[in-house]
Amino acid sequence: MIDFPTGLIVSAQALDGNPFRNSQALALMAESAAIGGASAIRANGADDISAMSKRVSIPIIGIDKKKDPTGRTVITPDFEGAKKIYEAGASIIALDATFYPSDIAEDRKELIRRIHEELGIPVMADISTFEEAVNAAKMGVDAISTTLAGYIPGALHTDDELYVPDFTLLSQIVAAKLPCKVVAEGRIWGREDIREAFNIGADAVVIGKAITNPIAITRYYNSFIPKKDESGYVPTETRNPRSDNMADGPSESILRIIQREDATVPAIVKSCIPQIAKLVDAGVESLKKGGRIIYCGAGTSGRLAVADAAECPPTYGVSRETITAVIAGGEKAITNASEGCEDNREAGIAAFENLKCTENDLIIGISAAGRAPFVVAFMEKAGERGCKVGAIVNNLDTEMSKLSDITIEALTGAEVIKGSTRMKAGSAQKMILNMFSTAVFVKMGYTWQNYMTHMKPSNSKLKKRAVAMICEILKIKKDKAEELLVSHDWDIHTSLVSHKNNNK
């Protein structure tokens, strides 16, 4: 009996009505997948398998799909079909091992035994639940695949899950350490899906539509095109169907659900780059006029703003007045949640007046919902004073966006935990603030290419970093670099300029 293949398995199938519903065409598809490095092919029916077996030398996982009286498709329900596809060239048989009943399905345990003993080839069980996986392992299968998760009547995947693999189920099966190979299959579309499946512990991953079905591939890519009359926008306060029942799974499953949602954030931030660039240019313009960059936020948004503003002086050597942050509730709100303070409009007005803002200042309001009264009031006063006003929000058409000259709408959608905008919304805000402040100070000349040459070496670690920086930039020895820095009171930028001028 052959060993069950590991790595990437490609399913080359086509339903009736698909132009590729042709055995020779599918055989070419299988051959292409084999050339590309597939470890095995999954195929349906004797005709397709026979055509493929003439073109590929890698194992073929054969299935024999039949419809029962209810109209449901059952995968290899009997030995007759298994033998037929074996004789056509299948070297592994996959069969339906779900608990869902069917009048045409033979006893699974007996079917598995006969395939092993009479055909002498491995068996893969297509399952939809963890209990079915355990049962299949007890029946002696060689591999278990999550093929049917989300495809069994009464437990169908939602439209939102069309391109979302069931990695919670995969994690449960891997954790159980069943005595057979584990295969991830079903709704796998991207490289991150493949990487995650193997990181979880899958021995093999099956990809079907995403490689061999041009109709499905085209629909997949079309799904990313914004509709003219439909933004696809989901407010941050919406309940997330992808994290339903997350508390029922093990710790690793919960973490994977969170990570899958977090993984959507970079692409959302990427789409905001044109607006972030406008805000950067506004920030540079304000600083060149002698103005300041002032963040204003509440709750998580305020704490992220405070952190970004606080990190700029040591990183770029700017004064603490150059870039600063105001948070609803004041300093105590940084370490102690004071979420009620965001409703205080009067406090927002007072905070603005206290800063003595001028028309040269850039004011940036930050709020996931885009309506925190403290921030809104601060922004209103900024507009009245003639300041340039920006907004970083995570909802569409917010009150804050109406008050700003430049709005960044990072539409991160429903959180894993309903309304917990410290998660995806907070991650997007953190990324945007990092990008904004970094780009501003790079354009203002506070770096030497990508070196932090205006940082203040205030401790031994930073002094070592300064020495290494001088060595790299000037291509001089460590002792010479340290001597140069000491002679200029550990001012990296001045040391560089001095050395360059003296060695013209």
pLDDT in tens, 144-166: 999 999 999 888 887 767 888 99
| Predicted TM-score (pTM) of this structure | 0.70
User: What is the domain partition of the chain in residue ranges?
Assistant: 7-225, 268-443, 460-502
**Alpha-carbon distance values, 342 to 43, 60, 445 (Å):** 59, 62, 36
pLDDT band at 341 (very low <50, low <70, confident <90, very high): confident
For the residues 344-364, what does the mean pLDDT come to?
96
Question: Any idea which of 8-17, 276-285, 438-447, 491-500 has the lowest mean pLDDT?
Answer: 491-500
For the residues 454-482, what does the mean pLDDT come to?
92
Question: According to the model, what pLDDT value does residue 158 have?
Answer: 76
Tokens representing 473?
Answer: 């930039």
Contact (CB, 8 A) for 180 and 142: yes
Question: According to the model, what pLDDT value does residue 446 have?
Answer: 94
pLDDT tens profile 26-48: 999 999 999 999 999 999 999 99
Question: According to the model, what pLDDT value does residue 148 have?
Answer: 97
Tokens representing 374?
Answer: 């403290």
pLDDT tens profile 407-429: 999 999 999 999 999 999 999 99
Question: According to the model, what pLDDT value does residue 225 have?
Answer: 73
Looking at domain 7-225, which CATH architecture does it have? Alpha-Beta Barrel (3.20)
For the residues 302-308, what does the mean pLDDT come to?
97
Which residues are tagged catalytic? 311, 342
Tokens representing 365?
Answer: 């309001």
Question: According to the model, what pLDDT value does residue 29 have?
Answer: 97
| Angle between helices 191-200 and 167-176 in degrees, nearest 10 | 20
**CB atoms inside a 10 Å sphere around CB 460:** 8
pLDDT of residue 230 exceeding 50: no
Question: According to the model, what pLDDT value does residue 252 have?
Answer: 79
pLDDT of residue 300 exceeding 60: yes
* CATH class, range 268-443: alpha beta
Question: According to the model, what pLDDT value does residue 227 have?
Answer: 57
pLDDT band at 226 (very low <50, low <70, confident <90, very high): low
pLDDT tens profile 60-106: 999 999 999 999 999 999 999 999 999 999 999 999 999 999 999 99
pLDDT of residue 229 exceeding 50: no
pLDDT of residue 205 exceeding 50: yes
**228 residue type, one letter:** K
Q: What is the DSSP letter of 44?
A: E
Quick one: which of 102, 118, 89, 75 has its CA closest to 23?
A: 89
